[in-house]
Amino acid sequence: MKLNQILKKKIIIKELFSIQDVVRWIASCFSMADLWYGHGADNPWDEAINLVLPLLGLPPYIWNIVYKSKLSIKERKIIFELVIKRIKKKIPVVYLTNKTWFCGHELYIDDRVLIPRSPISELINNKFKSVISSYKNPKFILDLCTGSGCIAIACAYLFPNAHIDAVDISLDAINVVEYNIQLHGLENRITPICSNLFDKLPKYTYDLIISNPPYVNKKDINFLPKEYLYEPKIGFISKNNGIEIIEKIISMSPFFLRKKGILICEVGDKMIKIIEKYPDIYFQWLNIKNGGVGIFKIENK
Ligand SMILES: C[S@@+](CC[C@H](N)C(=O)[O-])C[C@H]1O[C@@H](n2cnc3c(N)ncnc32)[C@H](O)[C@@H]1O
């Protein structure tokens, strides 16, 4: 069967009724389409679920019996239009639903911010086991390059006594962070700050600095699948072959960390470049089981 034989509005309106019918149909369409999965799901089935459930206002995991419930014609029409956008325009699902979950916490997302997918989520889900000693629960945390605020919000839940500064250079991103902070009622715990890295930060020191900064070389953007081109370039690109912002974070962090404070930073495929550039720094490279690479920890002397 070919994609154009099943990608028809009359099929979803007249022949499909339940959530499970529609999810199966979308998964078939996605399998036949030329799509890139890199924003949460890694297969057509999960991508279909990620499109349908948020749209219906349902959580990411539902009982099997709910899959049998019927969709209204209006719901099926809306889903059809989004499937068309996903397939024809290659718009990532999260930008179509404006919703995702990071470490189990719901977030509002639009194309002013990168879609959260950092493997730092695994460290947070594991409560930073073997990364931060349990007796050293951080009280002051800095989330540098916060984007949607996903890491700041997940840290606020993990460390209920901590205060978190969430910094981004993009005012657009800060507006999204503010929205997500309100969504979680965390206004007293997280302070959004629009700043070029440390430039506008208050003069106190943090127990933990955590960052997923941009680290893509400008030229490499052209080789990314179309899906990534919907995301703000400022979230990807860093000068000096992708490492300029990482360099600034490494050089400035000691001034903003208390003694024995910790810097955790994602550098992805720039790991080797960073090791070569700083032979005298002891980087602890953290184990990530779900496939991510290149997250280091440095303890401040
Ligand atoms: C890779 S995204 C990470 C977003 C989020 N932390 C996440 O994990 O999904 C990088 C973010 O860094 C921000 N950024 C880029 N340059 C910056 C700078 N000089 N200072 C602060 N933030 C910056 C971008 O606006 C973008 O939101």
Instruction: Report how far ligand 1's centroid is from the alpha carbon of 1 (Å).
Output: 43
Instruction: Report how far ligand 1's centroid is from the alpha carbon of 51 (Å).
Output: 25
Protein residue closest via CA to atom 6 of ligand 1: 146
Q: Give yes or no: residues 81 and 120 share one domain.
A: no
Residue 291: per-residue pLDDT: 67
Give which of 154, 60, 125 is closest to 289, Cα–Cα.
125
Q: Look at residue 104 and tell me if it is in a domain.
A: no
Q: Give yes or no: residues 35 and 125 share one domain.
A: no
Q: Look at residue 263 and tell me if it is in a domain.
A: yes
Radius of gyration, alpha carbons of the chain: 21
Protein residue closest via CA to atom 19 of ligand 1: 196
Residue 40: per-residue pLDDT: 84
C-beta 145 within 6 A of ligand 1:
yes
For residues 215 and 268, the answer to whether their CB atoms sit within 8 Å is: yes
Residue 94: per-residue pLDDT: 97
Per the structure, the count of domains in the chain is: 2
C-beta 83 within 6 A of ligand 1:
no
Total-model pTM: 0.95
Give which of 259, 147, 257 is closest to 203, Cα–Cα.
257
C-beta 210 within 6 A of ligand 1:
no
Residue 265 pairs with which residues in a beta bridge?
Answer: 211, 296
Instruction: Report how far ligand 1's centroid is from the alpha carbon of 43 (Å).
Output: 27
Encode the chain (301 residues) as per-residue pLDDT tens digits: 888 888 888 888 888 899 999 999 999 999 999 999 989 888 999 999 999 999 999 998 899 999 999 999 999 999 999 999 999 999 999 999 999 999 999 999 999 999 999 999 999 999 999 888 766 789 999 999 999 999 999 999 999 999 999 999 999 999 999 999 999 999 999 999 999 999 999 888 999 999 999 999 999 998 999 999 999 999 999 999 999 999 999 999 999 999 999 999 999 999 999 999 999 999 999 988 876 679 999 999 8
Q: Which atom of ligand 1 is nearest to 215's Cα?
A: 1
Residue 201 lies in domain: 114-299
Q: Give yes or no: residues 66 and 193 share one domain.
A: no
HSE-CB at 172 with a 13 A cutoff on CA atoms is 11
Q: Look at residue 102 and tell me if it is in a domain.
A: no
For residues 270 and 242, the answer to whether their CB atoms sit within 8 Å is: yes
At 202, list the tokens: 């208050």
The enclosing domain of 269 has a CATH number of: 3.40.50.150
Largest CA distance in the chain: 67
For residues 173 and 146, the answer to whether their CB atoms sit within 8 Å is: yes
Protein residue closest via CA to atom 12 of ligand 1: 145
